[in-house]
């Protein structure tokens, strides 16, 4: 399996001189199976550059898995050029949205209203199919499998585990470690603690032993208290999670858009210094656009 990162920023694209080393596009990950089946995780602005590369290998058959429908994870979908070319086949997967009581097909339907975009879905020439996934559902893509896991975010967010022939990777999308909304001594505190422990157990089990974990590391530990509840993790929380799950490589992504590359490297180094490498620990690296990992 091969993994390539096309977008690594969070919340909003942030192009400019200060993001040249790691990239300013929002989330998009390309995964190729051993048989070259194409799996795309999220459709942030990074999917546009991927689309231009894919034009070299028409016709395209791709399975796109959306972690959740916040703008920075779907903004690039209408600019995914293969959608406009006859003979291409795109299958878009994603979670049910309990807020709008609708499936993943509503993403494109809403995005492609004339109020927001000049081209309707009906005018696209590729074959487009949709699957609204359930928690824990596995989808087979060629010889690979993609399994959804419910993570922690203000909307339904699926992490995806992709595996084939004993090799695996996991992408969290946006994830904030579950925390207790009650104070110690409150009537519901202990019950909620048990709920959190069960959820954390399920999350760790879902990513257990993967070769590569691409995880939301948006904030520093100093920033987090003012952003608790926003739905994003820290470098420290993702390092702890990777250790618990026994992963081999942790790729820190969803970089804070206001952070320059230099600031990103400083905060990353500070986080590593708080977690000295121990035997059995994963290799820990910063995500950057263009990074390729062969598993």
| pLDDT tens digit sequence for 72-107 | 999 999 999 999 999 999 999 999 887 777 889 988
What pLDDT is stored for residue 120 in this prediction? 85
CA angle 59, 60, 64 (to 5 degrees): 165
- Stronger pLDDT, 184 or 205, i.e. the higher one: 205
What pLDDT is stored for residue 68 in this prediction? 94
Cβ-contact 134, 190 below 8 angstroms: no
Note the pLDDT tens digit of each residue in 53-71: 999 999 999 999 999 999 9
How distant, in Å, are the alpha carbons of 35, 46, 56, 63 from that of 89? 17, 20, 16, 9
Residue 100's domain spans which residues? 2-294
In percent, the amount of the chain with pLDDT more than 90 equals 83
Tokens of 20: 């040249």
Over the chain, what is the mean pLDDT?
94
Number of domains in the chain: 1
Least confidently predicted of 3-7, 44-48, 183-187: 183-187
Largest Cα span, the chain: 62
Q: Which H/E stretch holds residue 55?
A: none
What pLDDT is stored for residue 114 in this prediction? 87
Note the pLDDT tens digit of each residue in 211-252: 999 999 999 999 999 999 999 999 999 999 999 999 999 999
Beta-bridge mates of residue 125:
none
Cβ-contact 32, 164 below 8 angstroms: no
What pLDDT is stored for residue 106 in this prediction? 85
Q: In the structure, what pLDDT confidence band is assigned to residue 34 with cuts at 50, 70 and 90?
A: very high
Q: Is the pLDDT of residue 174 over 80?
A: yes
Q: Which H/E stretch holds residue 6?
A: strand 2-7
Average confidence (pLDDT) over 243-264: 98
Give the Cα separation of 30 and 64 in Å (integer). 9
What pLDDT is stored for residue 191 in this prediction? 84
Helix, strand, or coil here: 93?
strand
What pLDDT is stored for residue 205 in this prediction? 97
CATH number at residue 40: 3.60.15.10
What pLDDT is stored for residue 189 in this prediction? 84
Give the Cα separation of 77 and 159 in Å (integer). 19
Across the chain, the runs of DSSP E, i.e. the strands, are 2-7, 28-32, 38-41, 61-65, 89-95, 127-133, 138-141, 144-150, 158-164, 167-171, 212-216, 249-253, 283-286, 292-294
């Amino acid at each position: 399996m091969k993994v390539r990162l096309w977008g690594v920023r969070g919340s909003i694209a942030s192009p400019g001189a200060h993001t040249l080393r790691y990239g300013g596009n929002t989330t998009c990950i390309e995964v190729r199976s051993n048989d070259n089946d194409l799996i795309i995780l999220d459709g942030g602005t990074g999917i546009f550059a991927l689309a231009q590369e894919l034009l070299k290998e028409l016709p395209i058959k791709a399975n796109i898995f959306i972690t959740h429908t916040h703008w920075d994870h779907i903004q690039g979908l209408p600019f995914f050029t293969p959608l406009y070319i006859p003979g291409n086949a795109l299958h878009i997967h994603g979670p049910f949205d309990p807020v709008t009581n609708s499936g993943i097909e509503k993403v494109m339907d809403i995005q492609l209203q004339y109020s927001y975009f000049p081209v309707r879905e009906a005018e696209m020439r590729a074959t487009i199919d949709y699957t609204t996934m359930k928690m824990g559902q596995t989808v087979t893509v060629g010889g690979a499998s993609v399994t959804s896991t419910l993570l922690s975010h203000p909307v339904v967010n699926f992490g995806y585990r992709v595996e084939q022939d004993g090799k695996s990777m996991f992408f969290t999308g946006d994830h904030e470690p579950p925390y207790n909304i009650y104070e110690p001594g409150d009537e519901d505190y202990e019950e909620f603690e048990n709920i959190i422990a069960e959820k954390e157990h399920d999350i760790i089990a879902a990513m257990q032993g993967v070769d590569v974990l691409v995880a939301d590391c948006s904030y520093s530990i100093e920033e987090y208290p003012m952003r608790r509840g926003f739905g994003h993790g820290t470098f420290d929380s993702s390092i702890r999670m990777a250790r618990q799950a026994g992963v081999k490589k942790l790729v820190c992504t969803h970089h804070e858009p206001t952070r320059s590359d230099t600031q990103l490297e400083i905060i990353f180094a500070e986080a590593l210094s708080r977690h000295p490498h121990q035997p059995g620990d994963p290799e820990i690296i910063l995500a950057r656009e263009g990074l390729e990992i062969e598993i």
